[in-house]
């Protein structure tokens, strides 16, 4: 999980103490990401998925995270993992450096559309042709509480789906077709898609969307 520079330091303070909740679908991962793949976890937070990938036998895993507090937490809780703090793009890697990239609960944490575009464009640069991008994120929810949050957020930001939580975190939920369009604009084609229910940072549950998309050759 990562943050946007526009969230008023949330991921350096309150957000840095949260327990991240999007589980790795090991079956989905194994179908598309072999153990010898070069893997980038973009917006890796405190290294939760890096540690899991390492335990599964993935030998070449690299994390990137913009929050200094989350990087420090990673180095304390998961010493020995490869993590780079990168506050801005482009990232310090050559084109096509990775066979696969993970993007877990990152897009929901980036309320600015232009920043989401830049992030996926950068992953298109870094993932080799034929490689995969594994996205786990939160689409628009249909329950009444979420709809009320969206309406309140729309009044504040002008964007339906954007909302501010009581602890100060700003998030955005989008339609599944918006995720598809974003990936397609940057040369990724959806190979597999799943939906399930996941816990939230704040103790509730959401329907989540998982997409594995392959970069065009």
Residue 92 sits in a domain whose CATH number is 3.40.50.150
- Residue with token string 């034929």: 130
Domain holding 137, by residue range, is 10-215
User: Can you say whether residue 116 is alpha, beta or left, with left for phi > 0 and alpha for psi between -120 and 50 degrees?
Assistant: alpha
Give the Cα separation of 69 and 74 in Å (integer).
9
Look at residue 104 in the predicted model and tell me its pLDDT. 97
User: Does residue 3 sit within a domain?
Assistant: no
User: Does residue 1 sit within a domain?
Assistant: no
User: Does residue 131 sit within a domain?
Assistant: yes
pTM of the model: 0.94
- If pLDDT is split at 50, 70 and 90, which confidence band does 65 have? very high
For the chain, what is the domain count?
1
User: Does residue 170 sit within a domain?
Assistant: yes
Percent of the chain with pLDDT over 90: 91
pLDDT at 178 over 60: yes
When pLDDT is averaged across residues 112-141 and rounded to a whole number, the result is: 97
Give the Cα separation of 91 and 88 in Å (integer).
7
Look at residue 201 in the predicted model and tell me its pLDDT. 83
């Amino acid at each position: 999980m990562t943050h946007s520079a526009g969230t008023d330091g949330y991921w350096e303070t309150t957000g840095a103490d949260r327990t991240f909740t999007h589980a790795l679908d090991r079956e989905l991962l194994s179908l598309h990401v072999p153990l010898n793949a070069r893997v980038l976890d973009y917006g890796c937070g405190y290294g939760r998925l890096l540690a899991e990938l390492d335990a599964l036998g993935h030998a070449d895993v690299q994390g990137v995270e913009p929050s200094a507090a989350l990087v420090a937490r990673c180095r304390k809780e998961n010493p020995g993992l490869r993590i780079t703090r990168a506050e801005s793009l482009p990232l310090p890697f050559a084109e096509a450096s990775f066979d696969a990239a993970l993007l877990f609960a990152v897009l929901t944490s980036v309320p600015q559309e232009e920043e989401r575009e830049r992030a996926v464009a950068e992953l298109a640069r870094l993932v080799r042709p034929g490689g995969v991008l594994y996205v786990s994120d939160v689409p628009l929810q249909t329950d009444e509480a979420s709809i009320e949050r969206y309406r309140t957020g729309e009044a504040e930001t002008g964007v339906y789906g954007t909302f501010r939580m009581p602890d100060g975190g700003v998030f955005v939920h989008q339609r599944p077709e918006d995720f598809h369009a974003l990936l397609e604009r940057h040369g990724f084609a959806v190979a597999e898609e799943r939906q399930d229910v996941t816990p939230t940072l704040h103790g509730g549950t959401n329907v989540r969307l998982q997409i594995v998309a392959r970069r065009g050759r």
